[in-house]
Every structure is written in C-alpha cells, then in structure tokens.
Structure 1
C-alpha cells in the first residue's frame, strides 16, 4: 500500500478520483499526465541518470535514487489496488512506472554501488525520509505523520547514558568537521545475471563448508611477494609476506584464520600500513589490549597508538591506531561509528559469533558505518578458531566483513555466485559457492605447512585416581545421575507402552531425548547434582594433584604454564606453589590490564618465576608464553577450541622446544568421557576449513556426556 495519503484539498493532482464529493466530475475526465507523483518521479530519475552518465553522482543523487525506488514501489501497489480508475488508465500509469523502474535499473547497472539502495530492506536515512516527504507533497500526496518519539526503557536509558565522547575525540571531530564519505575506489561489478534473485542463499553457503570434500582448499590464492620482506631488522615469514602482497594488490577483506601462533597480530598491523588504512580501529579482548599496543609500536613504530580505557578520558582522538576491548565497546560505539576509521580489525573474532550479544551488535554496527563511509575499507577478522560449536559461527564474521548481510550475500559475493551460472539445485553449486566465499578473503594456514621450524607438540593424558571421601562422593554422585537418567528413560518407555507402542532393546533416539530433557532441566536450576556441578567438583578434587605435577615439572623441565577454569582450583594451586617456595605469577579475569601485563612480564623475564597460573577464559587467547614448553591443563574445557587456544600460548612462532600439554584426567569418572568427546569435536574446523579427512562432528559435549552415562547404565542393567 502507498504510505502517502491523498490530500483532500489537492483535488485530482495524482490522477486518482479524489474525495467522494468530486467523484462524479473526476470520472468524466482522464487524469492529466502532469498530475500526481509520477511526473515528480520521472523528473527526479532523469536528473539522477544524467549525474551517473557524467560520473558526477553526489550524496543527494543517491538519496533521491532510493526515495524514487520507494515511491515508485508504493505507487505501483496503489495503482493496482485502485478500483476507481479504468483498466486503460491503470495500464497507462503502470507503463509510466515501468519506465521509471527501467531508468533506475539502468542507472544502477552503470553505478553498481546503487544496487543495495533498491533492496526493500535497505536502511532509510533521516535525509531520505525528508526528501520522500517533500516529493510526496509535490506530487499531491499527504505524507504520513512523523513516528511517535521512542520512549526508552530504564535499561535502554541507562545504556544511552553510558555513551561517551572522550575530550580528545571531540577535539579531533572539531578539527575535521567535514569527513566526506570516500567512494573513489568503489569496486565496479555489473550483475549480468540475476538467476539467484529470490533464492535463500545463506544456508547453502554454510552447507558448502559443512559438506566440504576432502582436500578442498580453504585459503584464497595469495600472490608471491616480489621481494623478501623485513621490518625493523626482522624477516617476515613467507606466509606473512604473501598476505601483505595480497593487500598491496588491492584486497581489503580477510578472515585471517591462521592457526594460533603464526603471527596474525603482526600481519594485521602491517596490512593496515600497506593499505594506508588509518585511522585504524582494533577491537580486542581485554587480556591482550596492552600486548596489541606493544605489537603496534614494534611493527609500525612510525604510527601513533592510543588505548581506550574506561570512559576514554586519556585516549588520543588523533591517533593512527586506536585499540579498545570488547567489554567497554558499548560506551564508545557511537563515536567510533562516526570517527572516520578507514580500517577495522577484530581480534579473536569468534567472540562475536552470537549475533544477539551486545558486543556482536556493536562490532557489526561500527563495521556497517565504516563500509558506508569508505568504499573499500580494510576489514580483518582474526581468529585461530573460527568455528567453536557450529558451522553457523561463520555468519557474524562474514557479516562484519561485508560479505553478507542479515539475509543474503552482499553485492560482491552475489556477483561471484552469479558467475557460477548455477543455483542451489545444482550439485556443482556447492563447491563453487564455497570457493567464491574463500576467494572473498579466507586465509587459513596451518603450522605444519608454513612453519616447519616450530617444533612438534603433543597432548599427553595424565590419569589420576581420586582417592578418599571426595573421590567416593564424586563416583556416588555419578551413579545417582545415571540412576536418575535411567528413571527418566523407563518413564518414557512406559508412556510409549501405554500408547500401545513397542520399544525393542535399547532405543538410541530415546536416550538422546532423555539426555536433552535432563540437560534442559540442569541449565534451568541451581539445585541438585548434575553433570556441570560434578565436573566442577572433579576439577576441585584434581587441583592438588595437578599442581603437584606442575611443581615437579618446574623443578625438572623449567617454566610451566598452568591452566585452570575455576577460581578455587587456581587458589589451591597457588597455595601449593607458595608452600613449596616456587615463584609464580597469575593471569586471572579480575585483574587490571596493568597487573596482568606485569605478571606476564615477570614470568617471561624473571628466572625465579617458574610457573604462571592462568585462567582458561582470561588467558586462553592472545598471550605469548613460548618461554615455556610445558602446559598443564588442570581442568577440561567443554570445547576443543578452548583447549587448543590455551596450548598455543606456548606452541607458536619463537618456540624452539617441543611442546607438551599434560591433560590431567580423573580416571573412572565422567572426566574421562568428556576428554574423549572433546577430542571427537576437533574435526569441525578441520573439515570445514582445512579439507581434512577427519570425520566432521558438531556434537554437543554436554549432551553426549549424558548420552554416554545413560547408555552405559542401560547396558550394564541389560547384562546383569
């Protein structure tokens, strides 16, 4: 339906019959061609067309282009629904609207950056709303009233009040009041085919990775560097030089998914220099914020660096590189969206995989604003583990990079998909689509392929027996859990029997349903013994044993990195190290950035600090601890990715010793089952990105642990 309403005082200016008082007279004459909204649109699209022909499109042209498309669409719907005009009159008006649509399409073909404005879901700016209102009035339509002001909730009001503009940033904005959007390098891409219009394509794109054939490449073609590159006397490795060569050739969006330890931070900083993408915004985890500042000073010393803390009172708004952590991004997202950044790097990009989270929304919003102001900004998503739980972890990263929007591929990727000449009903579409996404800028290199000088690593499981009352209590709790699951299963079988259904043997599908129900109950209650509370108790019971082994390692093998998940495990380890006179430092979530970096420096540089006690969540990413070659994993993670990230704090460029990760596992408990399940999940990223022949698995470890417990209980009962 048309959004504009016929103005009663305007008579018959838009070719309609007007109000009922004028109906008799209106039906006796043909609407004049110069009346209504259509001639207003025709005049506007001709002006836009001439601007495109002269390569002189302005922001005003672009705004009117979108408004013309909106009004033409609305007028077409109104004309089709109007029962007060003759068929001949209706046909004539539709033909004139077809002419306007043709001019819009031809103009967009000449200037592809206009295509997204034709989308029905394209964002309508305040300027577009004003122009639309003016054109409606000129065409004899009564614009709809302005929307009611939005009343913010208490939470939204508090959030809005947290928005800040640091003093130095305000000064920078005043010094540069006219930040004109840059469209000079807009990529020209004409969509010669439109066969994919109307297809749902996001799911097929994800499936193309999930179903990747063995050996399928997961890295875009990277050019050979012209010469061996070095910075400040440090030679870059070949894989690093290749990425910079791609930037030098003009590529600007990258999912840099190199395995941890291959120098992604240096590559991103040097890429910004190669692309002259300044000012550059780096969004990073809090734990590595200080390290990013150091790396920037190390690799690009001629560029000024500023780190945002708190409300940003000390930030330098004129800096070339601005570094901010996810945790405070909500306060700064507004000014960062308008600051004129020409590049944006998101470190540990798997942090934004949940699009509903506030930090993900802020990252996507800032990226979207940058892409609207700069035609080809440098956008880089850095993560050694792009897939944590599911293939859909890709979606937010692709959207950040501008490869897709919320519903469909962006113009460049759509062009590549159109060039395949296929649709999702064709079997060959999937490998071709996967390659199209890879060519957008996925860069994935493995240590074994590009850094053969990094020594091997291995994971050694250390089974321990939980003796005493605590061990007996844990095993008893596991038996109670198994009994409760079996009771649920029996109740389900009985319900089937009452419905006249037969259950033969042990029903694997019913086991999974029971496990899912138990898991749902466990996540919604804080009472009772469940798999989560048992795993935590097991971690506490293992604490002394794991710490004792780390102490022994430090005496015989040098520095040790000790990882744990819970505070009480870290506390117990630190107490043991203190009691034995072993120097230690700690990296924990509650520390300030200054304290954290001080402790890291002490571990790296002080020979008397033999062990660093690290939180899996606070220190599992971004740290460089290759001064050690032994890692003790006192508690198990729920994901292989988290475990791998921890180990790769040590197994990285600069390491000259074989790395061993000692995984402490409580024998004859659910701990052992979880270790096996974590290992089975390792195939996800390998299958999707590395073309590995490992079996693809996206199992939920928590669910599968319950399935394992219930299955074993039922089998034991059947064999009794």
Structure 2
C-alpha cells in the first residue's frame, strides 16, 4: 500500500480493500496496454505520477481549508472518513483504469490553485464529443462559466377531494411560486406542498414559466394550450386573461352573489340580485339587453372580459368555467351566432358503395367527425343510421387500423354483417367477432367484442393499443364504477380516434354524460367534481357530495355541440327518411343447452333428407325445424329486448309466433318491472281495444307483446315507432300487415322495423323464401316494396339451397360462429 494511504490511520480491512481495488485496476490497465500501438507506450511512466498527485490532492483537500491565493473567498471544506474513502477509491480507480486507447501525459501540478481546479475537473467527466480546455485557468484569471441549472422534475397528485399536492425536489424559484399561491399549505410530515384545485391552473402556468422545472399534470388533466385553442398569439393572450378570472373569485364576505351562464352561441346571461353598482356596470356595456321575462341581463360573449364585476368588493361573481372559455374562445374575440360549417371531407379512398349510400345529413355527420379529428359523440336519434356513419368515419382512418368495435352482445354479428355490406374491400376473414374469453382480441383487421367480454378480457389488453375505436351504445359507460367502464376507459384514453354512438347519451341525469365526455375530450373536464358542481347541481351533504341533480343544461348542450357532440332528431331530417326502415339483426344461438342444439342438428339433417323425397315431407320437416328454432332463439331475443330497454326505447312492439317465446318475453318484462300488454289468440276481442288504448295512452315504458298471426290486423298502435320481429313467418303478407300496426294514419315519425335472424337455424331457409315471394308480389303490383331492398343486411339477399343452408348450419355449430360466413349463392 502506498505510504500516503497509511498516514490516515486506516484499519487493516480498509487497507486490504484499497489494495485489492488498486491491483484489479492495474491488471485491467496492463491488459489494455498490451493492445496499444507502440507510439502510445512511451507515455506509460506518467500514469503513476498522475495517480499519486491526485491522491495528494485529495489528502490536501480534506486536511485543510480551501483558500484561494488571493484569499477572496474561504469556505471551510471538511469531509468524514467515509467520504474520504469514497474519494480515494473512486479517484484511484478512475485515474488508473483509463478508458482511452493510450495514456496521456499529465503535467505536474505547480501550485495549490491549479491542484484545486484539477480536483474539480476530475469530478465532472466531459460528455461525449466535448473537449477539455488544454490548460486550466489560474486562480487569478477569469471566473469559470456557471454550470447550467439542473432540471427539476416533479408531478401533481391528488391529495384530498378538493386539493392536490406537488411531489418535487427542492428548487428555490419553485418554492417562491408555491408561496405565491393563495391556497398554499406545507405539510412538515411529508415535506410537500398542497393546494386547492381551484388554484391548479394558476400554479401550472407559473411553474411553466420556469425553464428548469417540469411538472407532470394531475392525473387526467392536461395543461391548457391557449395557442391550440386560438389561431393568433393576440387571441391566446386574451384567452389567458379570461382564464385568470376563474381564479380567486370567491369572497366569503360578499353581500351579493351571482354567476355567468352561456345562453346561446354568442350571448351570456348574468344571474345576480339587485345591486346599484352592478346595474351601473351593466348599463355601460354596448351589447346590454334586459329580458323582462327572466329579469336578467345578457350580453355578447365578446363583452365578458369587460364586465369586471369581481372588482366590486361586495360582489362575488362565479365566472364561466375554463371548458367554456376554451371551447368558445373565438366567440370571445368576435361573437358569431352561427357555428361554422365543417369542410367537406375527402372520401375518395372510402368504398364508393358506402359513400354513394349516405344521405345528406349522414354525410354531414362524417364531415363533423373529420373536423373533430375522429373524436366525437354521435347522438343521432334511433333509425338515423349511426352505424353506417360510424363505419364511414372509421374507413376514413383505415390507415390507422386495426379497428375495435365494442357493442352490446346482441348486435355483435349485426356489426359484422354491416362491415361486410358497406366495406366490400375488406375481406370477410379479417372480421374477428370475439365470442368467448379465450378468443384473441386483436386477430383481425376489424375486431368486434361485447361490453361484458371486454371486461373479462381485461388482462388480454394488447401491447400496442387500438388507434381507432367505435363504442356502440356508449351510454353503457354511464357509471364510472362499473367493471365495463373501468375496462373501456384505458383503451379509449390511448386511442387516437374515438367514435361514441348513442341515441340516448344520458338516460336520466347529466352525471351520466361525464364518462363519455372524458373518453372523447379528457381535457374538457378532467375532474368530475368540476363537472358536477356546474351541471349536476352538486350539493355537499353530511355523508358526501350529491351529484344527482341538474343545472345549466342549456349551457351544457351548447358546450357539447361546440366540442364533441352531434345530435339530429327524426323530426329534423324526416324529409330525407323513408317511411319504413327495415333492418336485419343477426343473432346467435350461443348459450343454448346441448339438448336444443342436438334437436337443431337432427332437424337440419331431416330437412336435407326430405328435400329429395316429397314436398309435403319437406314442409313438415321445415315446420319441425321452425319449432326448434324458436326455443334456440329465446336467449338472444331476451338479450335484444333488454338492450332496447337499456337504450331508452320506452315503447315498441314485439311480434312472435310460438307461445313459448311469448311466455318467455312477458316473464322477462315482469321480472324487470316493465309495463306490457299481450295480445295473442287467447285474448278476447273485447279486451283487445282496451289493451291498445292502454298502450297508446301510456306515458312510461310499455312493450306490446303480440302474436304475429293473431294481432297482425285491426289494431292501431302508432304511438310507437319501433317494431321487433322476434320470429319470422312463412307468409310475407302477414309480416307487412304486422308492420302496419304502427305505420298508419296518425304516425308522425318514420318507422323502424327490426327482424331478428339467427344463423344456423330455420331462419336461413325462411328469410330468402320470404324475399322471393315478395319479389313475385312486387312484379305484379301487389306489394309496395321488397323487404330485401330496404333491409340493412347483406347476407340474406338471395335464396340459398337447402344443402347450402345445412352446410351453413353445421359450420356455425362447428366454429361457434367465430366469424360470420357468407351465404353461398346458387
């Protein structure tokens, strides 16, 4: 061991470790020197001197104060024995174990000042590509350049219901910012600062002005980007000034309290009691208007910043929320009553068959979606073609596929049929319908899954998330605490395009809208409490907050329409709609028991055998197959009716043929507490009209469960506009008459007709047969329309042979209907 190390009273163990490190370093150096070219070997003798000088330097630094030659500054510098050993080991290893191809000559240290500078130089290694100065400055020379400030990174996390804290290291300028926040609070136990959520934006803006500080936003929140909300820097500055009105507006001692509410796209209303100074300010506004009915003043949005009611000490004025200020930023610069028309989207790369089929209002929906960069809530009324619009929007972003479609279980295969019909360029085998939890969620170009399965497959989330997602009946996500919502939100959070579809986004209260807003525009209301206090009439009760109310609904409607929602009612586009819209809903027989499946297989084989014998035997075999089909479809029928009720359909008709199906439907409705009427062959004639009158006058949910043969004529039920055929029937004329129970004089809306068709059952035979008969009637002028021309389905447009139908049945059973097989044409 060198004598210099022995002079500091090291223990034998410490001396042994130092010697071992030195020997290892020397061995590594010897190995490298063996590979060095001869030109570098001549400088070997300088290395021990360099190491010895560095060790002497450390000893000098520890034993004495660091004093410059001019004595201009003299901070005491002392280190513990542990620190000393650390420097000895690190410097000795660093200097001996050089990484260069050869050992450089180091000039002897001539004085204390140069030794000090060399010591600091050893502690900070140069970055790759950086060159050290050839000569260190003397103590009496120029002062070295100041080291750049180290960047401090931290994050904002939730602290309590109304407060957040900042987890970050020490930074003097940041502490100054913290102390300037009104709601500041320092917790000595955690050594962290926490603040009121109302001051969140103020803190983030001030922290952003510090170049050496980076704070991650609160979970779910995004920093407001004023430049993105406006087109000019001047407008961004004006918006930032309006945002500052949202901070510190509460005045505990205020005598008069009020609030600002947006009442139209260009005007706001001030709801406040009488106060002379307030009225004086109102009368100075150029756009002032007093409404005699509401007894409230309203102004153009561009005058919002000029009100300055917060400057009155006795007045507390609740400002417009930041979400409104951002969404209507252009209106605060110059108010316009009409919303700009979205530009025409370029759909040249979308299948022509789809684009040619779009109605004008549906094309407007696609334009709106593209103008919102593929993130929207399409809330059109039922029957306006949300499905075809969503497919067109998704096809516009086809380059970003694979696509994920999440839908109710009863319509999964209907979505698959719709894609096959409207996007013929997509191969049928690239459509993946997830049937069980064992199936892959990402095996197809188009992946369709139910809400319940999505929850069960939560652990199978793909490593690369979906960029384009369609959520059918998105109001299923209304409760953030449900498992289906917890499974869906992470996918929506990472998706680039989010297309939500729902005819009834909120079933009963505004709070049900929040999760859908969060999915499309997370930055609009990052915290539910902010949304709840503004639009849910939130009240703080002894056990917590109550968000079951509603408030400022007009402003909420304007805000949603400006940012993410498009909603058209049937009455608004009735002139573009046909009187009847037929839709084939493809259902499955999954979940039926083995006995029913065996009966279906036997009936299918019998029908295939009888087709080569006599016509009467074929009809008898088909009738048996039809009876077994009714039992196999019951579960799918119940699911579809439940989905209709959950979607907010209050009144509709359900037609069936078999008593078993009618009994199952009424039993399900009774268990759910849904009001219903039932008319079948056993219903007396005197009771029929009473039941119809009860259905017509009902103001709440009511379902008419009807026999397709006993209630297909003589009844008027036009208070409903939806008819569901749970079962098919041989005679198309009977079906048309059943449809007309709602499509008759007095009907003010178009009528939606849904036919539930199950693959692998007698429906595969009946539906093409019905179409063929309708074609014959149409050719002789005895039928107004062909069902196949109006029905939204592609798989049943031609008659299939019995053998092809049987093959389809067996294939469906064998593959568990893993994907929809097209019907073979002959």
Q: What range describes the TM-score normalised by the shorter chain of this pair?
A: 0.3 to 0.5
Whose strand fraction is larger, Structure 1's or Structure 2's? 2
* TM norm structure 1: 0.39
Q: Quick check: which has more Rg, 1 or 2?
A: 2
Could you say which structure has the higher helix fraction? 1
- The TM-score with structure 2 as length reference comes to 0.35
